[in-house]
């Protein structure tokens, strides 16, 4: 095996980049393989599920994340390792990789069971979401060749090699956004799941119109939208005044609380209020809910249960973002595990695009030239910004026909002002695509 052949094996499986870690003696099947001192690895590895293991002891608290991992052989055959998982320890924090040999038909047991320094672990993510791995001995031709080259970048404890076909994804994205900027006003539209172009008349069509121009079809999974980038449009009144604009980061439905156990209708009737503009037969649940502040209309207070503000760490894996009433009943809550699953993977590389809207005669949008790019995030950064009040819950939930046949619109929004975005990312920049 040499580097050229290995790159080809990964490229043939539609991988975009290769991550390489020099293994220490402790990196083996018994002690698990150390994947880094933050949850940042979740930014690059697709995980299907996160389970909590509440121990009551912070030293033993952990999450377990399922991962679809396979070993790839020198001849290109793929051997699934179905017990593979990531173990996340919030106290340190750190992430370890385990179960990668169990029940695998042809695992590299000789290399991954011994305490041998300087083995090299290569892995890459295929287009179908499978993580492919290859390991080599320190004295192999591949290891010696790798020691002589410069890698493209680093991600935590991993060196990164870009495969040629995707090396310029950032440049491709910015060129596309420049093209869209130069179009000026664009008639409101959207793509359906089959790629068919449809009109769009809803107030939130700015995002759909941009996605349609980029050829992004709606998806129900937590993967980045375009060439590895999550695309977020946000409305402004002036392209020269972005800082005060508000961005909706994500819209996850609650995973527990009265909202979940008794249903949205019971939740609205208990905590909602009659429409303030006088629209008959309608109840709303809305308003900015910040951590530690009781909302005047809903009488609910947002709390971060199981998160330590001082250290910025999760202390309880069964923790959650919760709306509590005056009797400490949990009106609605979002488990850390569900939010973690969504946030890291989808927002590791995020692109925020401002837009103006026009609704007179016909709905249309114009997109700005100053694009905000954020790279490298961690869910614990998200929670810290919630604790500071910079991220807040701002739902747009309504129930019409309340006295007859109720019709409910659900929209749970977590939002942030543009000026606070840099706090969510390791690197943040504003790019003028015209210069």
Note the pLDDT tens digit of each residue in 194-228: 889 999 998 889 999 999 999 988 755 555 678 88
pLDDT of residue 137: 97
Find, among 120, 35, 38, 143, the residue nearest to 84 by Cα: 35
Query: What is the token pair recorded at 80?
Result: 């699934």
pLDDT of residue 354: 97
pLDDT of residue 165: 60
Question: Per-residue confidence at 253, pLDDT binned at 50, 70, 90?
Answer: very high
Backbone phi, psi, residue 226, to 5°: -140, 115
pLDDT of residue 195: 87
* C-alpha Rg value of the chain to the nearest Å: 24
Q: What is the mean pLDDT of residues 293-320?
A: 95
> Which residues, in sequence order, are CB contacts of 356 under 8 Å at separation 6+?
235, 236, 237, 239, 365, 366, 368
Question: Per-residue confidence at 166, pLDDT binned at 50, 70, 90?
Answer: low
**Mapping DSSP to helix (H, G, I), strand (E, B) and coil, where does residue 309 land?**
coil
Question: Per-residue confidence at 56, pLDDT binned at 50, 70, 90?
Answer: low
pLDDT of residue 53: 80
pTM recorded for the entire structure:
0.87
pLDDT of residue 224: 65
Backbone phi, psi, residue 309, to 5°: -65, -40
pLDDT of residue 39: 87
Query: What is the token pair recorded at 225?
Result: 């939208």
> DSSP class of residue 359?
-
Does 377 have pLDDT greater than 70? Answer: yes
> DSSP class of residue 25?
T
CA separation for the pair 25, 223 (Å, rounded): 34
Q: Which H/E stretch holds residue 21?
A: strand 17-23
pLDDT digits (tens, 9 = 90+) for 88-130: 999 889 999 999 999 999 999 999 999 999 999 999 999 888 9
pLDDT of residue 207: 93
Structural contact between residues 132 and 123, judged by C-beta atoms closer than 8 angstroms:
yes
pLDDT of residue 298: 97
Higher local confidence (pLDDT), 359 or 164? 359
Q: What is the mean pLDDT of residues 363-389?
A: 95
% of the chain exceeding 90 in pLDDT: 79
Mean pLDDT of the chain: 93
CA separation for the pair 383, 390 (Å, rounded): 10
Question: Per-residue confidence at 392, pLDDT binned at 50, 70, 90?
Answer: very high
Q: Domains of the chain, with CATH numbers?
A: 3-166 (2.40.330.10), 169-432 (3.30.70.3570)
Q: Quickly list DSSP for 153-196.
A: EEETTEEEEE-GGGTTHHHHHHHHHHHHHHH-SEE-EEE-TT--
Does 421 have pLDDT greater than 80? Answer: yes
Q: Which H/E stretch holds residue 357?
A: strand 349-358
The dihedral of CA 182, 185, 187, 190: what is its sign?
positive
pLDDT of residue 362: 93
pLDDT of residue 85: 96
pLDDT of residue 223: 59
CA separation for the pair 348, 43 (Å, rounded): 5
215 burial via Cβ count (<10 Å: 0-12, 13-18, 19+): exposed
Q: Which H/E stretch holds residue 306?
A: none
pLDDT digits (tens, 9 = 90+) for 8-31: 999 999 898 999 999 999 999 999
pLDDT of residue 77: 95
pLDDT of residue 381: 93
How far, CA to CA in Å, does 314 sit from each of 64, 92, 326?
A: 14, 10, 25
Query: The tokens 């991962």 sit on which residue?
Result: 67
Max Cα-Cα span within the chain: 77
pLDDT of residue 59: 72
Structural contact between residues 320 and 256, judged by C-beta atoms closer than 8 angstroms:
yes
Query: What is the token pair recorded at 231?
Result: 């695309």
How far, CA to CA in Å, does 16 sit from each of 67, 93, 168, 229?
A: 18, 28, 11, 13
Q: What is the mean pLDDT of residues 350-356?
A: 96
pLDDT of residue 120: 98
> Which residues, in sequence order, are CB contacts of 241 under 8 Å at separation 6+?
none
Q: What is the mean pLDDT of residues 152-167?
A: 84
């Amino acid at each position: 095996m040499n580097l050229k052949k290995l790159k080809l094996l990964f490229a043939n499986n539609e991988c975009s980049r290769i991550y390489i870690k020099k293994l220490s003696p402790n990196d083996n099947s018994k002690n698990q393989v150390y994947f880094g001192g933050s949850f940042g690895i979740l930014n690059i590895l697709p995980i299907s599920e996160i389970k909590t293991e509440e121990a009551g002891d912070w030293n033993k608290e952990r999450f377990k994340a399922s991962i679809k991992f396979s070993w790839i052989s020198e001849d290109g055959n793929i051997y699934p390792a179905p017990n593979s998982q990531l173990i996340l320890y919030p106290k340190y924090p750190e992430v370890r990789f385990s179960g990668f040999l169990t029940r695998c038909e042809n695992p590299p047991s000789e290399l991954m069971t011994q305490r041998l320094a300087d083995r090299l672990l290569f892995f890459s993510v295929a287009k179908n979401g499978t993580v492919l791995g290859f390991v080599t001995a320190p004295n192999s031709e591949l290891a010696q060749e790798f020691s002589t080259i410069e890698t493209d970048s680093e991600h935590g404890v991993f060196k990164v090699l870009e495969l040629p076909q995707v090396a310029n994804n950032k440049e491709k994205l910015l060129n596309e956004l420049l093209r869209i900027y130069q179009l000026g006003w664009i008639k409101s539209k959207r793509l359906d799941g089959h790629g068919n172009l449809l009109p769009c008349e809803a107030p939130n069509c700015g995002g759909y119109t941009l996605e349609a121009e980029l050829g992004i079809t709606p998806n129900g999974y937590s993967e980045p939208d375009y060439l590895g980038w999550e695309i977020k449009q946000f409305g402004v009144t002036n392209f020269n005044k972005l800082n005060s604009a508000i961005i909706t980061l994500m819209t996850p439905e609650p995973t527990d609380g009265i909202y979940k156990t008794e249903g949205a209708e019971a939740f609205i009737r208990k905590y909602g209020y009659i429409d303030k503009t006088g629209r008959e037969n309608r109840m709303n649940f809305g308003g900015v809910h910040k951590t530690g502040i009781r909302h005047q209309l809903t009488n609910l207070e947002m709390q971060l249960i199981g998160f330590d503000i001082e250290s910025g760490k999760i202390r309880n894996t069964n923790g959650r973002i919760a709306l509590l009433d005056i009797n400490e009943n949990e009106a609605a809550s979002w488990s850390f595990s569900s939010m973690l699953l969504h946030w890291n993977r989808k927002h590791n590389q995020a692109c925020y695009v401002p837009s103006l809207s026009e609704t007179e005669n016909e709905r249309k949008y114009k997109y700005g030239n100053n694009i905000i790019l954020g790279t490298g995030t961690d869910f614990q950064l998200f929670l810290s910004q919630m604790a500071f009040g910079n991220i807040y819950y701002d739902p747009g939930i309504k129930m019409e026909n309340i006295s007859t046949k109720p019709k409910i619109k659900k929209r749970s929004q977590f939002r942030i002002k543009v000026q606070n975005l840099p706090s969510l990312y390791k690197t943040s920049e504003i790019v003028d695509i015209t210069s």
